[in-house]
Chain A
Amino acid sequence: EIVLTQSPATLSLSPGERATLSCRASQSVGSSLVWYQQKPGQPPRLLIYDASDRATGIPARFSGSGSGTDFTLTINSLEPEDFAVYYCQQRSKWPLTFGGGTKVEIK
C-alpha cells in the first residue's frame, strides 16, 4: 500500500499569505496525484488532478507541482474561503490511498 504523508498537519496563516502544503509518497506515483479541499460539514472538492492540472472552476491561485514521490499544493494569496482541510490522494496503484490532511487555519 502506498502511504501518503502530508505536512504540516496544521498551517496557521493570514489572508493574503501564501500556503505551501506538502505530500510525500512512500513510493513513486508518477503524476497520479490528486488534491482535494474539504470544509466542515461538506464533502471534499476536487482541486488538482494529475499533480498539476486544475479542476474545472478552480481559481488560478491554486497550483500543484511535483512528480514521483514529492508533491506540493500552493495557494497564492489566501482568501477567507480557502481556510479548510486539504487532502492528497494517489490513484497510481490499488488500494487507492489518501494522505492524513493538512488543516489551513486563520492565524
Chain B
Amino acid sequence: EVQLLESGGDLVQPGGSLRLSCAASGFTFSSYAMTWVRQAPGKGLEWVSAISRSGGISGGPTYYADSVKGRFTLSRDNSKNTLYLQMNSLRAEDTAVYYCARGGGDLAFDLWGQGTMVTVSS
C-alpha cells in the first residue's frame, strides 16, 4: 500500500527540541521531493519545508518557510525511505499537526500522511 506514516509528535516545552519522522512505503521514495506542511488548531495549512529527491547534507536543495528557517532542519535517508524534521528552539506558535506529503516545487502534494501532533507548552 502506498502510504506515509508520521511519528514523533509530542508535548514539549518552549525552547525544546523534537524530531519528526515520516516513513514512506509502497513507492520509490528516492524518486520524489518531499514536504512538511503544518496546521495549527482551527487554522489553515502552512507549508513548512521541502527537500529535493537527493536533498540534505549529501546534496540537493532544501527549502524552508521564513517562520522556521534557522530552527528546523529537514533531511532524508533514501536507504530507509524516511524523511526527518529536526525542530529546535520550539515556540508556542509551532503547535500544530504536522503532515508529511509527497511532492515539492516540481509536483503537487499527491500523497499525505495522517499527521502527528506537536504541542509546545509549559
Q: Which residues of A contact B (CB under 8 A)?
A: 1, 34, 36, 38, 43-46, 49-50, 55-56, 87, 89, 91, 94-101
Residue among A36, A49, A96, A98 with most chain B CB within 10 A: A96
What's the nearest-Cβ distance from chain A to residue B69, in Å?
9
Q: Which residues of B contact A (CB under 8 A)?
A: 35, 37, 44-47, 50, 63-66, 99, 104-110, 112-115
B contact patch SS: strand
Q: How far is the CA of A49 from the CA of B110 in the complex (A)?
A: 9
What total of A-B pairs shows CB separation below 8 Å?
61
* Also in contact, A49 and B108, with CB within 8 A (given A43-B99, A94-B63, A95-B66): yes
- Nearest residue in A to B112 (C-beta to C-beta)? A43
Task: Specify which of A1, A45, A98 is in contact with B44 (CB 8 Å cutoff).
Answer: A98
Beta-carbon contact of A98 and B45 below 8 Å: yes
Beta-carbon contact of B45 and A44 below 8 Å: yes
Given contacts A46-B108, A55-B108, A98-B37, 6 further A-B contacts (CB under 8 A): A43-B99, A45-B112, A46-B109, A91-B108, A94-B105, A96-B47
What's the nearest-Cβ distance from chain A to residue B113, in Å?
7
Beta-carbon contact of A101 and B108 below 8 Å: no
